[in-house]
């Protein structure tokens, strides 16, 4: 059984615990704190477990030339990439305000720390867990420092190889036992043929002592539901209030009705996964009682006759007789009463037929 741990206060993940659903608001708030609050409330109303943002300390995430780079995209909020990012970046005080609002609403709140200084702030903010975005998954100094802080971690794996992910696992594990890895492909929006859900199962084999999850950027909800069916214990999807808004992430995000349907579908799939123990269930009893078949006599069988297979057949019968799976165990046994043609062959009509014979 995969490792279980407390990702957020009172909320375990892994094992048979419900899948933890992260609504990734990211920077789809357009730089407007009131929109951000609406999105937190939306995530809660739709049934997500956590509302997540992206926190950067821009001078630590980008070098000067990257910030000065002209940004002429239709999604731009400024003439340079730095102006664009500053428009979308909330202050420390605004993060505290959002955290307080999430607490009032009743949903867990965290953010991806997009650089080491952002992680320092989030640690000070006392978020329940750190999210490591795919862009920092191969940033081993960052991983080590983040793991050493002792908070649970959720690590995306977009743009990485299995060899790198083995190093990620070893690096984090050395300092922090409570983490999970998410299969992720970093394309926005993501085409189904590039999702590679089978990596979830490969991760389960490679890292059997941690929960495995899925971070998706595809359209719709069916692929994410499929990830849960394959055993994803944490899922993350970008969310938006309107896919037509300015910003490159909106097209790969779920609107409120889609997020609500995703949560419902995941919970339905979880109910359907069951225990893995194959047996007749109580709900199947009516069907079995009505249509379940029994061994019946193909011909009249006088008392004392030793049964052969050509005397027997299988039909839906009243009363219920010996179950079809035990028909071969009847061969060679004697009947203790006369059995008419087409009558059920019942257990008490066969000499020495009992539990040992069924074993």
Is residue 127 a contact partner of residue 109, using CB atoms and an 8 Å limit? yes
pLDDT at 3: 86
Residue 357 predicted with pLDDT over 60: no
pLDDT at 2: 58
Is residue 36 a contact partner of residue 239, using CB atoms and an 8 Å limit? no
Is residue 180 a contact partner of residue 14, using CB atoms and an 8 Å limit? yes
Model confidence at 29, pLDDT cuts 50, 70, 90, reads very high
User: How is residue 4 written in tokens?
Assistant: 């279980």
pLDDT at 248: 85
Residue 130 predicted with pLDDT over 60: yes
pLDDT at 358: 46
Q: Compute how many other C-beta atoms are within 10 angstroms of the C-beta atom of residue 124.
A: 10
pLDDT at 203: 98
Residue 150 predicted with pLDDT over 50: yes
CA distance 19 to 228: 7
Q: List, for residues 221-271, the tens digit of each pLDDT value.
A: 999 999 999 999 999 999 999 999 998 899 899 999 999 999 999 999 999
Residue 1 predicted with pLDDT over 70: no
Residue 356 predicted with pLDDT over 70: no
Residue 187 predicted with pLDDT over 50: yes
pLDDT at 353: 86
DSSP secondary structure of 196-226: -THHHHHHHHH-TTS-EEEEE-BSSSHHHHH
pLDDT at 5: 97
Q: Phi/psi at 352 (nearest 5 deg)?
A: 60, 35
pLDDT at 359: 43
Q: List, for residues 297-346, the tens digit of each pLDDT value.
A: 999 999 999 999 999 999 999 999 999 999 999 999 999 999 999 999 99
Farthest CA pair distance, the chain:
99
- Percent of the chain residues past pLDDT 90, beyond the cut: 94
Burial letters 243-270, b for 16+ CB under 10 A, else e: bebebebbebbbebebbbbbbeebeeee
CA distance 234 to 230: 12
Q: What is the mean pLDDT of residues 180-186?
A: 98
- Percent of the chain residues past pLDDT 70, beyond the cut: 98
Dihedral of CA 75/77/79/82: which sign? negative
User: How is residue 183 written in tokens?
Assistant: 């299969």
CA distance 170 to 210: 12
């Amino acid at each position: 059984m995969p490792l279980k741990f407390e990702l957020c206060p009172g909320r375990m993940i892994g094992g048979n615990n419900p899948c933890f659903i992260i609504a990734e608001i990211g920077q789809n708030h357009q730089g407007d704190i009131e929109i951000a609050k609406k999105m937190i409330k939306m995530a809660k109303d739709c049934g997500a477990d956590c509302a997540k943002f992206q926190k950067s300390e821009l001078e630590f995430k980008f070098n000067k030339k990257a910030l000065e780079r002209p940004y002429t995209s239709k999604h731009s909020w400024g003439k340079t990439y730095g102006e664009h990012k500053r428009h979308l970046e909330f202050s420390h005080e605004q993060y505290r305000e959002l955290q307080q609002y999430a607490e009032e609403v009743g949903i867990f709140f965290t953010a991806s720390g997009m650089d080491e200084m952002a992680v320092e702030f989030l640690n000070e903010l006392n978020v329940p867990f750190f999210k490591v975005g795919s862009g920092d998954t191969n940033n081993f100094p960052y991983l080590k420092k983040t793991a050493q802080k002792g908070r649970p971690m959720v690590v995306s794996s977009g743009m990485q190889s299995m060899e790198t992910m083995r190093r990620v696992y070893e690096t984090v594990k050395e300092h922090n036992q409570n983490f999970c890895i998410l299969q992720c492909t970093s394309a926005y929006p993501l085409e189904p043929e590039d999702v590679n859900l089978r990596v979830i199962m490969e991760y389960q084999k490679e890292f059997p002592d941690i929960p495995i999850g899925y971070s998706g950027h595809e359209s719709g909800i069916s692929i994410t539901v499929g990830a849960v069916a394959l055993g994803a214990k944490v899922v993350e999807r970008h969310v938006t209030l309107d896919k037509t808004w300015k910003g490159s992430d909106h097209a790969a995000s779920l609107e409120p009705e889609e997020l609500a349907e995703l949560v419902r579908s995941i919970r339905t799939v979880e109910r359907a996964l069951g225990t893995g123990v194959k047996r007749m269930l109580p709900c199947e009893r009516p069907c079995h009682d009505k249509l379940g078949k029994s061994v019946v006599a193909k011909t009249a069988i006088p008392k004392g006759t030793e049964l052969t297979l050509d005397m027997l057949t299988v039909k839906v019968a009243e009363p219920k007789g010996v179950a079809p799976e035990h028909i071969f165990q009847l061969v060679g046994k004697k009947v203790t009463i006369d059995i008419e043609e087409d009558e059920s062959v019942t257990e008490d009509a066969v000499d020495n037929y009992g539990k040992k014979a069924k074993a």
